[in-house]
Amino acid sequence: MPEQVAPNGKLRHLISLKGLDRPMVESVLAKARTYIAAPDAQAPSDTSLTNYTVANLFYEASTRTRASFELAARRLDAKVLNLDVNTSSRTKGESILDTIYTLQAMHIDVFVVRDAGTGVPAMIAEAVAPHVCVLNAGESDTSHPTQGLLDLLTIQQHKQDIKNLKVAIIGDVRRSRVARSAAEALQLFDVGELRLIGPDEFLPDAEDFPGAHRFTDATAGIQGADVVMALRIQKERFDKAGEIPDNNAYFRRYGLTQALLRHADKDAIVMHPGPMNRGTEIASDVADGHQSVIRDQVANGVAIRMAVLSIVTDYVRSMRSSS
Amino acid sequence: MPEQVAPNGKLRHLISLKGLDRPMVESVLAKARTYIAAPDAQAPSDTSLTNYTVANLFYEASTRTRASFELAARRLDAKVLNLDVNTSSRTKGESILDTIYTLQAMHIDVFVVRDAGTGVPAMIAEAVAPHVCVLNAGESDTSHPTQGLLDLLTIQQHKQDIKNLKVAIIGDVRRSRVARSAAEALQLFDVGELRLIGPDEFLPDAEDFPGAHRFTDATAGIQGADVVMALRIQKERFDKAGEIPDNNAYFRRYGLTQALLRHADKDAIVMHPGPMNRGTEIASDVADGHQSVIRDQVANGVAIRMAVLSIVTDYVRSMRSSS
Amino acid sequence: MPEQVAPNGKLRHLISLKGLDRPMVESVLAKARTYIAAPDAQAPSDTSLTNYTVANLFYEASTRTRASFELAARRLDAKVLNLDVNTSSRTKGESILDTIYTLQAMHIDVFVVRDAGTGVPAMIAEAVAPHVCVLNAGESDTSHPTQGLLDLLTIQQHKQDIKNLKVAIIGDVRRSRVARSAAEALQLFDVGELRLIGPDEFLPDAEDFPGAHRFTDATAGIQGADVVMALRIQKERFDKAGEIPDNNAYFRRYGLTQALLRHADKDAIVMHPGPMNRGTEIASDVADGHQSVIRDQVANGVAIRMAVLSIVTDYVRSMRSSS
pLDDT over threshold 50, residue A62: yes
Gap between the Cα atoms of B255 and B260, Å rounded: 8
Write the CB contacts of A168 (distance below 8 Å, at least 6 apart in sequence). A195, A196, A197, A221, A222, A225, A227, A228, A229, A264
Please report whether residue B17 resides in a domain.
no
Secondary element (H or E) of residue A58: strand A53-58
Determine the pLDDT at residue A281.
96
Determine the pLDDT at residue A240.
64
Gap between the Cα atoms of C36 and C44, Å rounded: 7
Residue B64 is a catalytic residue: yes
Question: Are A188 and A120 found together in one domain?
Answer: no
Question: Are C64 and C124 found together in one domain?
Answer: yes
Catalytic: which of C10, C13, C65, C232? C65
In this complex, do C320 and B274 lie within 8 Å of one another by their Cβ atoms? no
Q: Is the ipTM of this complex over 0.90?
A: yes
Gap between the Cα atoms of C8 and A192, Å rounded: 76
User: How many angstroms separate the CA of residue C131 from the nearest CA in chain B?
Assistant: 6
Chain B residues in contact with A63 by the CB 8 A cut-off are: 83, 85, 93, 99
Please report whether residue C3 resides in a domain.
no
Say which CATH number the domain at C279 has: 3.40.50.1370
SS3 A228: strand
Catalytic: which of B64, B163, B252, B320? B64
Per the document, the length of chain C is: 323
Determine the pLDDT at residue B9.
96
Question: Are A139 and A214 found together in one domain?
Answer: no
Please report whether residue C10 resides in a domain.
no
pLDDT over threshold 60, residue C273: yes
Size of interface A-B (CB pairs under 8 A): 70
Chain C residues in contact with A99 by the CB 8 A cut-off are: 63, 275
Determine the pLDDT at residue C88.
46
Please report whether residue B276 resides in a domain.
yes
Chain A interface, mutation test: which of C276, C296, C300, C304, most A Cβ atoms within 10 Å? C276
Question: Are C56 and C84 found together in one domain?
Answer: yes
Q: Which residue has the higher pLDDT, A254 or A235?
A: A254
pLDDT, tens digit, 9 for 90 and up, residues C146-166: 999 999 999 999 999 999 999
Chain C residues in contact with B75 by the CB 8 A cut-off are: 79
Q: How confident is the model at residue C116 (pLDDT cuts 50, 70, 90)?
A: confident
Question: Are A33 and A102 found together in one domain?
Answer: yes
Please report whether residue C100 resides in a domain.
yes
Buried b / exposed e over A119-143, threshold 16 CB at 10 Å, is ebbbbbbeebeebbbbbbbbbbbbb
Determine the pLDDT at residue C281.
96
Determine the pLDDT at residue B149.
98
Gap between the Cα atoms of C106 and C8, Å rounded: 26
What DSSP state is assigned to residue B44? P
Kindly report the backbone phi and psi dihedral angles of residue A238, in degrees, each rounded to the nearest multiple of 5, phi listed first.
-90, 140
User: In a 10 Å sphere around its CB, with 0-12 CB exposed, 13-18 middle and 19+ buried, how is residue C230 labelled?
Assistant: buried
pLDDT over threshold 80, residue A85: no
Determine the pLDDT at residue B93.
60
DSSP assignment of A101-166: HHHHHTT--EEEEEESSTTHHHHHHHHS-TT-EEEEEEETTTB-HHHHHHHHHHHHHHSS-GGG-E
Catalytic: which of A10, A31, A66, A114? A114
Secondary element (H or E) of residue B310: helix B294-322
**By a Cβ cutoff of 8 Å, what residues of chain B touch chain A?**
51-53, 79, 81, 83, 85, 93-95, 98-99, 101-107, 109, 129-131, 319-320, 323
Gap between the Cα atoms of A105 and C37, Å rounded: 10
For A116, the domain range is: 22-144+298-322
Q: Is the dihedral of CA B196, B200, B206, B208 positive or negative?
A: negative
Gap between the Cα atoms of B171 and B214, Å rounded: 11
Question: Are A104 and A193 found together in one domain?
Answer: no
Question: Are B38 and B140 found together in one domain?
Answer: yes
Question: Are C288 and C197 found together in one domain?
Answer: yes
pLDDT, tens digit, 9 for 90 and up, residues A117-176: 999 999 999 999 999 999 999 999 999 999 999 999 999 999 999 999 999 999 999 999
Q: How confident is the model at residue C242 (pLDDT cuts 50, 70, 90)?
A: low
Q: How confident is the model at residue C235 (pLDDT cuts 50, 70, 90)?
A: confident
Please report whether residue B6 resides in a domain.
no
Check residue A29 and give left, alpha or beta (phi > 0: left; psi -120 to 50: alpha).
alpha
Write the residue in A51, A81, A101 that is nearest to C67 by C-beta.
A81
Question: Are C138 and C41 found together in one domain?
Answer: yes
Secondary element (H or E) of residue B178: helix B177-188
SS3 B40: coil
Determine the pLDDT at residue C163.
96
Determine the pLDDT at residue B242.
66
Q: Which residue has the higher pLDDT, B135 or C245?
A: B135
- Return the C-alpha torsion angle C3, C7, C12, C15, nearest 10: 20
Chain B residues in contact with A71 by the CB 8 A cut-off are: 53, 79, 81, 106-107
DSSP H helices in chain C: 22-33, 64-75, 87-92, 96-105, 120-127, 145-158, 177-188, 218-222, 247-254, 258-261, 284-287, 294-322
Residue A90 is a catalytic residue: no
Residue A18 is a catalytic residue: no
pTM of the model: 0.96
Determine the pLDDT at residue B273.
97
Check residue B12 and give left, alpha or beta (phi > 0: left; psi -120 to 50: alpha).
alpha
Determine the pLDDT at residue B88.
46
Q: How confident is the model at residue C60 (pLDDT cuts 50, 70, 90)?
A: confident
Taking alpha carbons only, the member of A94, A88, A148 closest to residue A117 is A88
Tally the domains of chain B.
2
Question: Are B221 and B305 found together in one domain?
Answer: no
pLDDT over threshold 90, residue A91: no
Secondary element (H or E) of residue A309: helix A294-322
Rg for chain C, CA atoms, rounded: 19
Please report whether residue B233 resides in a domain.
yes
Q: Is residue C268 within 8 Å of residue C291, measured between CB atoms?
A: yes
Q: Is residue C17 within 8 Å of residue C186, measured between CB atoms?
A: no
pLDDT over threshold 90, residue A188: yes
Question: Are A272 and A317 found together in one domain?
Answer: no
In this complex, do C53 and B71 lie within 8 Å of one another by their Cβ atoms? yes
- Contacts of C among chains (3+ CB pairs under 8 A): A, B
Secondary element (H or E) of residue A170: strand A166-170
Determine the pLDDT at residue B241.
60
Taking alpha carbons only, the member of C244, C221, C2 closest to residue C133 is C2
Q: Is residue B81 within 8 Å of residue B49, measured between CB atoms?
A: no
pLDDT over threshold 80, residue C185: yes
Question: Are B119 and B166 found together in one domain?
Answer: no
Q: What is the identity of the amino acid at C15? A: I
Residue C92 is a catalytic residue: yes
Taking alpha carbons only, the member of C212, C214, C227, C209 closest to residue C142 is C209
Ordered mean pLDDT values, 10 residues apiece, chain B (323 residues): 94 97 98 97 98 94 92 98 68 79 98 94 97 97 97 97 97 96 98 98 93 97 98 76 77 97 98 95 98 98 98 96 70
Residue B65 is a catalytic residue: yes
Write the residue in A37, A71, A299 that is nearest to B81 by C-beta.
A71
